[in-house]
Amino acid sequence: MANVSRLFFALWPDDTTRQKLVRLCQSIQAKEFKWVLPQNLHVTLVFLGNIDTSAELLIKKSAAAISAEPFVVTFDRLTYWKKPKVLCLASRQPPPSKLMILVEALGLAVENCGLQIDARPYAPHITLARHGNAWVDQDCEPVVWQANSFCLVESCSKAGGVFYKVIEQWPFEAGSLA
């Protein structure tokens, strides 16, 4: 079998945004959670799963053809998802239209490569912690995320846990999407 990588498209934070996320995590009083490593914080756009090398090349080519404009997402709500037992940072506002257009374009590009993606409605979020028992949803200090690019990211499993590696990054172009 060809080389296989576990891949997803994501928004990757700049250093300032990552530092804000780390400060937010440090302010949360929830010791029972396993916190996501700071270098792994991101916003998943489209999860691809296990992809072989030839499909990865097709996906990269399709992604490179996508044009998108910069946008801002404000994350201001801590929410707990019971089934996966994760604490997420979400938004009280509907997702920006430019974000939803990007997610739709990426999903279509992936499907055009012959792959299937999750059919659930997209909800932008940042997973902050895993394996917690419960949490009461609450508003929090907003984290404003200026998105200027999207990435193809590989999930790598090592003895010390999972880490994410940016494989390729595509900058947004002003005026590309309405």
* Catalytic residue set: 42, 125
| Token pair 């499909």: residue | 55
CB count, 10 Å around CB of 175? 8
3-state SS, residue 165 = strand
> Hey, which residues does 49 pair with through a beta bridge?
7
> Hey, which residues does 9 pair with through a beta bridge?
46, 152
Measured distance CA(166)–CA(102) in Å, rounded: 18
Distances (CA, A) of 83 to 133, 164, 168: 10, 23, 31
- In this structure, are residues 41 and 18 in contact, taking their beta carbons and an 8 Å threshold? yes
